[in-house]
Amino acid sequence: MEKDLGPMGEDALRGLNAEQLEAVTTTEGYVRVIAGAGTGKTRTLSHRFAYLVNELGIFPGNILCVTFTNKAANEMRQRIHRLTGDDDTGYVNTFHGFCVSVLQEDSYAVGYPKNFLVLDNSDIDAMLRIIYEERGLSLRDMTFSRARDMFEMRKCVSERDYFRLMVGPSADELHERYLSATKVEDILFYGYLYQQKKCFGLDYNDLIVFTLHVFASNAEVRGKWQGRLEYIMVDEFQDIDPLQYELMEVLQAHHRNLFVVGDPDQTIYTWRGADIRFLLEFADRFSPCKTIELKRNYRSTPQIVSVANDLISKNTIRYRKTLSTVTPSGLAVRGHHAHSSADEAAWIAERIAELHAGSLEEGRNPVDYRDITILYRAHYVTRAIEEALVKRKIPYVIYSGVQFFERSEVKDALSYLRVVCYRDDLSFMRIVNRPKRNVGEQRMRFLREFAAGQRISLLEALRRSLDDPFFRGTSAREFVQMVDRYSADASHRTVSELLARLLDESGYELALRTEGSQERLDNLAELRQSIYEYETSCGEEATLERYLTHVALFSNIDQGMERDKVRLMTVHAAKGLEFPHVFVAALNEGVFPSRKVRSREGMEEERRLAFVAMTRACKGLYLVDAEGAAQEGIPRYPSRFMLDLKPGLVEFDEPLPDSLVAEARDYYRLSDSKIAAAERLRSAPRFKVGERIRHRVFGVGSVREVDEGRRAYLVKFDDMGTMRTITFRVPLERVE
């Protein structure tokens, strides 16, 4: 007979497997749960919270449950509410959200009002504009993106005591430091702190740093929060960073009830500070510790789990475990090697159409579009996929991004082509001041009024106004001359050549490089590739006018209100989600894994990212790559994440040619050797100034300088009249 909990909600122990039950009911001390993909960690956390409340009588307000996104926190609160029947769900929040609660309650400890401002990137950029204008700086000195990264580095690593300047009684000292600074980094940093102080604004880094400062400097406040939080639970512990780890250490110090859940195989955020060692070494730091493994996957078929297990087993930095599955056998994992990106996209679109129609050979039940997701490593790979989906009239939506032809830089590039072709006002208004030509709002207002009065286009209005003193100090004349020149001979150039010249001569591409916008540059490279493919397929009919008509079909798609759509998203955006059918696109070496990998640890993170992608799938998993020329002219080989899988785990439409596999493996080895060489180059210097060393050619000498920036020694060799600069990567021996 089931227990009737009445208003208290559902039974917190109902439906748990043995390992989940152990995790839920082990309430005291240090507990580490290694929860594999799809093993029910969110369920375990929610039921543990409910068990503490319903069965042990703990007040929700005495429990802290930390997760990493607001969405996950909202879902957790809803689950807990259903289980406890209580509107009070305690502190179920992100780290930053919890810190806001602390600082609002105890803001007096830092001299800030309770209604302090939490800053986002747009707020920070607005402050940077003020500083740049006041001190005569430009983006050539430092881009906004680099400035924000620099702020984070100084606040979290090199200048952890910066907050002392912000919690003082006045902003005078900060203002003085700002005015007296001469280095660009110091001007921006102290100027930003001063702007923050003036408006009582805190950014995300400040929230944790200020909370730690309050706890370190005010024993009464620290003791209050430590006493209040009798039980602490941390979700996604593999993604925790050093500041969050430090905060957790402080909070658990009184009751010592700390419960962490995570999966080292899903650590994919080291680039933003996550440290896999915090979970791997948890039992060493917090002792005695009980470790519980959740290995029963409830999400995916045996076929998908087998592929994921085999993939992640290649990593060395991990907690060794093997997922099992309780779901029945399902579809084979499909692999497809396409001859081009267009063929890859067409194959994906065709399989989706077959799934939706219920005509796919492996299963005859129609699949809703919403149950199909396409995952990829970077947004720029979606261009060909979007075109193929549109061609087949398959509705889709892009998550965590915008459709390819709606992206700002793509629309800008197409507007340059349009203004050359059509001289239209819409394109003119979009790009006349991109990049900056000092044709701002006042001058645009003048042009609009002049054009309206004369019944001419804005471009013509600008041409007639070039000698007006109002346009002195602008680059308007160069812009008009560029448009006129390329309009006159557009018919004699290919579209791809025309675009390349426009982006170069206009300074648009240089402006993106100056901003450090690599993803936007990648999107422009993908646009050029799409134009080249269009020209190849259309031959002499590939005129500028025809191309712009062709591309308008993609850039003006009616999104409508239809909810049944295929979802497109990056793997990072898919973390924590699951989908019945998953296509992993562009599984090419240099794309996934990324060409930016510079270390073995980085390659292992890419493999973890691929593991995350594969374990999002419940019923069907499709792994796809394409031949062709990569953006940097390197031949595109299938990803090692496909070829390293055991034979038979993936069913390919056609067996991969032995010659292709051999070439790919040779390329992997070459890539790995470059990574190893780069690691040696980045390694810490082995020798100090004054030490005696031996070079295999130059003989014995003394180290005079160590240049860590260039990763080199300046050495005076005994048998040579002048000194030599020797890189760290060259083997040297110490002479005793």
Catalytic residue among 11, 19, 32, 41: 41
Token pair for 519 = 């993803």
Burial class of residue 80 in the structure, from the number of CB atoms within 10 Å of its CB (0-12 exposed, 13-18 middle, 19+ buried)? buried
Rounded CA separation 458/525 (Å):
30
Q: Which of 94, 195, 211, 266 is catalytic?
A: 266
Torsion 299-303-306-311 (CA) sign: negative
User: Beta 712-717 vs 724-727: how paired, if at all?
Assistant: antiparallel
* Largest CA-CA distance found in the chain, in angstroms, rounded: 94
Matching residue, tokens 């785990």? 649
> Is 38 annotated for ligand binding?
yes
DSSP character at residue 108: G
> How many whole angstroms separate alpha carbon 227 and alpha carbon 251?
9
Q: Is 509 among the residues known to form the active site?
A: no
Q: Is 39 annotated as a binding residue?
A: yes
Tokens of 707: 């240049």
- The one catalytic residue in 25, 26, 42, 543 is 42
Side-chain-facing half-sphere of 732: CA atoms under 13 Å:
30
Per DSSP, helices labelled H in 136-276 are 144-153, 163-166, 172-180, 184-199, 204-217, 219-228, 242-252
Q: What's 586-603 look like in SS3? A: CCECECCCECCCCCHHHH
Active site annotation includes 41: yes
274 annotated to a ligand binding site = no
> For this structure, is 616 an active site residue?
yes
658 catalytic per annotation:
no
Q: Which helix (H) or strand (E) holds 260?
A: strand 258-262
Would you say 278 and 237 are in contact if contact means Cβ atoms under 8 Å apart? Answer: yes
42 is in an annotated binding site: yes
Q: What is the dihedral of CA 343, 348, 353, 359, to 10 degrees?
A: 100
Catalytic residue among 235, 265, 343, 589: 235
Known binding residue 37? Answer is: yes
- Report residue 269 as tokens: 């955020």
Q: Is 164 a catalytic residue?
A: no
In contact, 348 and 587? CB cutoff 8 Å: no
Active site residue 565: no
- Out of 11, 19, 236, 526, the active site residue is 236
Q: Is 15 annotated as a binding residue?
A: no
Hey, which residues does 91 pair with through a beta bridge?
A: 64
Q: Which residues are annotated as a binding site?
A: 35-42
Q: Which residues are catalytic?
A: 41-42, 235-236, 266, 616
Q: Which residues are annotated as a binding site for ATP?
A: 35-42
